[in-house]
Amino acid sequence: MKSRFERIALLGRTHQPPTASVAASTRDVLLQLSECLHNKGADVFLERETADHCNLSDFPVLSLEEIGKTCDLALIIGGDGTMLSHGRRLAPMGVPLIGINQGRLGFMTDIPLQRMVETLSPMLDGQFDEERRSMIQAEVWRDGRCIFQALALNDVVVNRGGTSGMVEFRIEVDGHFVANQRADGLIIATPTGSTAYSLSAGGPVLQPSVAGWVMAPIAPHTLSNRPLVLSNATTISVELVGGRDASANFDMQSLASLLMGDKIVVRKSPHEARLLHPKGLTFFDTLRKKLHWNEGGV
């Protein structure tokens, strides 16, 4: 059966320095995938940095912007960091994404590398479930002007400096004062990011369809400061009022240094990431597998 997707882009890890073993492994995966896709009658393109990273010159190459304009599917090979990096930039262009797990954990890249061809084949025929993942639009404001802005698929994290003490911040939701907190930092996570850093900080896991954020302090000075679940229709403002060398991280892949009085403003982005999953695979299947629930059970 011919693929329902006519123009498919392949994207791999480009955010880490290339090593011979990783590049060779990724190159083998890309070659195997391209053969599978060509057999389905699809036109296959490599993302430019991926092609350079893996030293592949025998494929048509597109920039990320060209992929967003001309391709109707993107296959992302790597771990969740790779999916975040590429997915965050492709989401505003509406390109559906399929993740193939070449990493360790892989909450978003849910197709096992060892079974990628047999799993992908029915998906290319149209047998898949589509899921929309909400995103964060974040801005850093200083002296009344926006000095930095970014999209985040996972989270926005305010962190203390590596050698400094706790930071103190003032939190408002929709202009209403919530609290002044002293902590090592603060995480504002989407449902997608609720299984990442927020989970390690004691935050709850949110089902991806939940229209909310998790706001979780990191090692708070006052133990009654607990994670909160907030509507994603709200606007959250975090003002730095104490501490040195603080920074704001967006998906842990872009960073803004903060000065006293800076505000990080977080709201829901109008863009969503479109993730395609194998038919019948549920979020709870992923949690059981990745978090090793029911090990030793029936």
Nearest CA-CA partner of 133 in 170, 184, 84, 171: 84
Q: Point out which residues pair with 11 in neighbouring strands.
A: 76
- Report the Cα 262 to chain-centroid distance in Å: 25
CB 269 within 8 A of CB 134: yes
* Tokens encoding 252: 């842990």
CA torsion through residues 287, 288, 290, 293, sign: positive
Q: Is 80 among the catalytic positions? A: yes
CB 132 within 8 A of CB 276: no
CB 16 within 8 A of CB 22: yes
Instruction: Point out the catalytic residue in the list 80, 110, 184, 251.
Output: 80
**Residues annotated as part of the active site:** 80
